[in-house]
């Protein structure tokens, strides 16, 4: 005790220990004398058998379960702290392999410079990208916040507040590729004023100048576009070489990760036509709020009411896991945290709900996952930024 | 506690859950109900966390809320009518200032904290002895230590806690001696 306290409970405790000083003793005696009930209470507390019994009763609390319940209850309501809801299904899924993905002409991931993963602190992704110029040279855009990036063929690329803008008209036809590795997000403005947001592990290839009948770009991964209006020059996005989205001037999102089983193009504003570049060239025209889903082989699925919130979550700095499976969630975490997820054994089918901010450290996120009742999933980190997912035995 | 994050809540929880649960268990007996009442109190406290002036304020609030909810629960259950009556009589809960049960919970909290601060092995032995009422032999088996070590740890615990607890060591020392004789 740093300062004297005359709370009864403090005095009573000290009395049990026999560590009362004179002043305290006097105080306690005075309290006891105030009324017979006080005195009786103090006495019965001192009784060794009763004290032991009470202590036993006290210790019989299932504190941790209550704690988890409380945290689940309080923190999903709070926007800043994430939590998952799980719905367990009966079936058991076979392990899903972790795939590599292809960038424009590049294969594999450049993991150099990422270092060894530690048990604590895999930081969330952040802004930054790699710009590959027409001559093949590469530029890491992380560290450049503002300034001129490249000067090619009369075209200037300028970084303003962390996003890339192209200016000027030039001669010749040169292409640049902007790619984001895992754990990075980037925004750039194309020479025509179209704004593009690239999610992690994505790439966009585009000409420095939009000449010709169409403005054509190619993407892999996931990107959100706000296309500058130009009726004379339709904007075409070639998606992972398998589909084409033709637009006039609109806002839309394309999700085309190699290790997701389908391509999804979602329209927010304007109008687009989505066409398959294979097997029959099926095509569909989207209205705002609609989504086209393209699978291997089959035609195009039209979703009339897309979950825009979920589609755009990544751009708004959130994960949205509504209806996602454990594998879906892990794939998203892989891209954002730049980790490799390995499933040690078949996992039960689980459907998630909920949203989460992308700004948390991986460890905190996994803690939240572990804390959910009725689940037996375990995580551990291994060297090389590997996350091993297994079941609690 | 002004920060609205999990860590702050955990601190609140660590400080108050156990004694409040003790308190509420005396009111409602059913563990599940008791837990719900305490959690409900903690939630209410958390909602108002900007409004508390100090620790005492928080503590008074919590016990008050738990008490009210406990009594409400008892009143709702018709079959608890007699228990409510008994409780009011026996728990000396006549006026707010005389909430002996709350005081008792707080004293026990201090005792338990003192137990938690014991060195690991010593604490384990203490818990197994007083809380789980295991014999020396059982404890020795569980922790893979000798019977005399158990006795030593017990003695140490009592010394460190300086609490007047049931005088078990003496009786068990006797048993130990007998065991060792065989």
Q: Hey, is the C-beta of B108 within 8 angstroms of any chain A C-beta? A: yes
Confidence of residue B153 (pLDDT cuts 50, 70, 90): confident
A71–B92 C-beta distance less than 8 A: no
Which residues in chain B are contacts of A54 at CB distance < 8 A? 104, 108
Residue B180, SS3 per DSSP: helix
* pLDDT score of A106 more than 50: no
Tens digit of each residue's pLDDT (9 = 90 or more) over B32-79: 999 999 999 999 999 888 888 888 889 989 999 998 888 888 777 655
Instruction: State which residue of chain B sits closest to A54, comparing Cα positions.
Output: B108
* pLDDT score of B171 more than 70: no
* pLDDT score of A109 more than 70: no
- Closest C-alpha to A204, from A164, A232, A251, A168: A164
CA atoms of A138 and A140, how far apart (whole Å): 7
Predicted pLDDT at B38:
95
Angstrom CA distances, A355 to A218, A256, A298, A325, B164, stand at 30, 21, 31, 14, 53
Q: What proportion of chain A, given as a percentage, has pLDDT over 90?
A: 0
Q: Hey, is the C-beta of B62 within 8 angstroms of any chain A C-beta? A: no
Burial of A91 (0-12, 13-18, 19+ CB in 10 A): exposed
Query: Which residues, listed in sequence order, are joined to residue A379 by a DSSP beta bridge?
Result: A389
B103–A41 C-beta distance less than 8 A: yes
Average pLDDT, chain B: 76
Q: Tokens 């009442």 appear where?
A: B37
- Asked if A328 contacts A262 with a C-beta cutoff of 8 angstroms, the reply is no
pTM comes to 0.43
Which range (A67-76, A349-358, A377-386) has the least confidence? A349-358
Q: Hey, is the C-beta of A90 within 8 angstroms of any chain B C-beta? A: no
CA atoms of A294 and A244, how far apart (whole Å): 11
- Asked if A342 contacts A389 with a C-beta cutoff of 8 angstroms, the reply is yes
CA atoms of A57 and A130, how far apart (whole Å): 62
B108–A78 C-beta distance less than 8 A: no
Tens digit of each residue's pLDDT (9 = 90 or more) over A172-218: 567 788 888 777 788 888 888 888 888 888 888 888 778 777 888 88
Among A122-126, A313-317, B91-95, the range with the most confident prediction by mean pLDDT is A313-317
Q: Tokens 């999933």 appear where?
A: A377
Residue B67, SS3 per DSSP: helix
CA atoms of A320 and B134, how far apart (whole Å): 51
Comparison of pLDDT for A137 and A28, the residue scoring more: A28
The reply to whether ipTM tops 0.90 is no
* pLDDT score of B176 more than 50: no
Helix (H) or strand (E) holding A298: none
Predicted pLDDT at A248:
66
The b/e string for A340-367 (b: 16+ C-beta within 10 A; e otherwise) is bbebeeebbebbbebbbbbebebbebbe
């Amino acid at each position: 005790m740093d300062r004297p306290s005359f709370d009864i409970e403090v005095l009573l405790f000290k009395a049990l220990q026999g560590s009362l000083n004179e002043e305290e003793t006097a105080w306690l005696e005075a309290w006891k004398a105030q009324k017979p009930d006080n005195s009786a209470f103090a006495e019965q507390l001192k009784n060794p058998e009763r004290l032991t019994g009470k202590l036993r009763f006290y210790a019989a609390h299932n504190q941790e379960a209550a704690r988890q319940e409380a945290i689940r209850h309080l923190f999903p309501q709070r926007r800043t702290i994430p939590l998952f809801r799980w719905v367990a299904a009966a079936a058991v899924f076979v392990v899903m392999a972790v795939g590599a993905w292809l960038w424009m002409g590049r294969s594999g991931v450049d993991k150099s410079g990422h270092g060894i993963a530690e048990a604590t602190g895999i930081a969330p992704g952040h802004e930054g990208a790699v710009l590959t110029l027409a001559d093949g040279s590469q530029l890491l855009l992380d560290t450049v916040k503002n300034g001129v990036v490249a000067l090619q063929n009369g075209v200037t690329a300028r970084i303003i507040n962390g996003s890339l803008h192209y200016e000027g008209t030039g001669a010749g036809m040169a292409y640049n590729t902007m790619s984001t590795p895992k754990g990075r997000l980037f925004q750039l403005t194309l020479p025509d004023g179209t704004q593009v947001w690239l999610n992690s592990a994505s790439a966009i290839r585009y000409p420095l100048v939009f000449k010709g009948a169409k403005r054509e770009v190619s993407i892999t991964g996931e990107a959100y576009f706000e296309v500058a209006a130009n009726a004379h020059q339709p904007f075409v996005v070639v998606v992972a070489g398998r589909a084409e989205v033709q637009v006039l001037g609109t806002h839309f999102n394309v999700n085309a990760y190699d290790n997701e089983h389908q391509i999804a193009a979602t329209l927010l504003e304007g109008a687009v036509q989505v066409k398959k570049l294979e097997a029959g060239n099926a095509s569909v025209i989207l209205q705002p709020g609609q989504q086209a889903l393209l699978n291997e082989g089959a035609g195009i699925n039209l979703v009339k009411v897309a979950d825009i919130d979920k589609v755009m979550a990544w751009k708004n700095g959130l994960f949205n896991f509504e209806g996602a499976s454990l594998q879906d969630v892990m794939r998203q975490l892989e891209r954002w945290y730049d980790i490799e997820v390995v499933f040690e054994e078949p996992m039960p089918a689980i459907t998630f709900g909920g949203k989460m901010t992308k700004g948390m450290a991986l460890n905190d996120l996994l803690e939240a996952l572990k804390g959910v009742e009725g689940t037996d999933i375990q995580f551990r980190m291994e060297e090389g930024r590997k996350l091993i997912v297994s079941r609690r035995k | 506690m002004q920060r609205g994050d999990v860590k702050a809540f955990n601190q609140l929880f660590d400080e108050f859950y156990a004694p409040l649960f003790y308190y509420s268990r005396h009111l409602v007996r059913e563990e599940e109900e008791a837990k719900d009442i305490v959690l409900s109190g903690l939630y209410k406290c958390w909602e108002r966390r900007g409004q508390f002036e100090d620790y005492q304020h928080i503590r008074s609030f919590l016990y008050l809320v738990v008490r009210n909810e406990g009594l409400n629960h008892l009143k709702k259950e018709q079959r608890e009518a007699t228990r409510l009556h008994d409780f009011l009589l026996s728990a000396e809960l006549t006026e707010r200032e005389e909430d002996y049960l709350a005081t008792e919970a707080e004293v026990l909290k201090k005792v338990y904290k003192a137990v938690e601060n014991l060195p690991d092995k010593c604490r384990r032995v203490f818990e197994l002895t007083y809380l789980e009422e295991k014999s020396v032999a059982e404890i020795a088996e569980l922790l893979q230590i000798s019977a005399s070590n158990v006795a030593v740890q017990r003695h140490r615990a009592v010394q460190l806690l300086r609490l007047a607890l049931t005088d078990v060591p003496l009786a068990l020392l006797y048993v130990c001696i007998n065991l060792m004789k065989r």
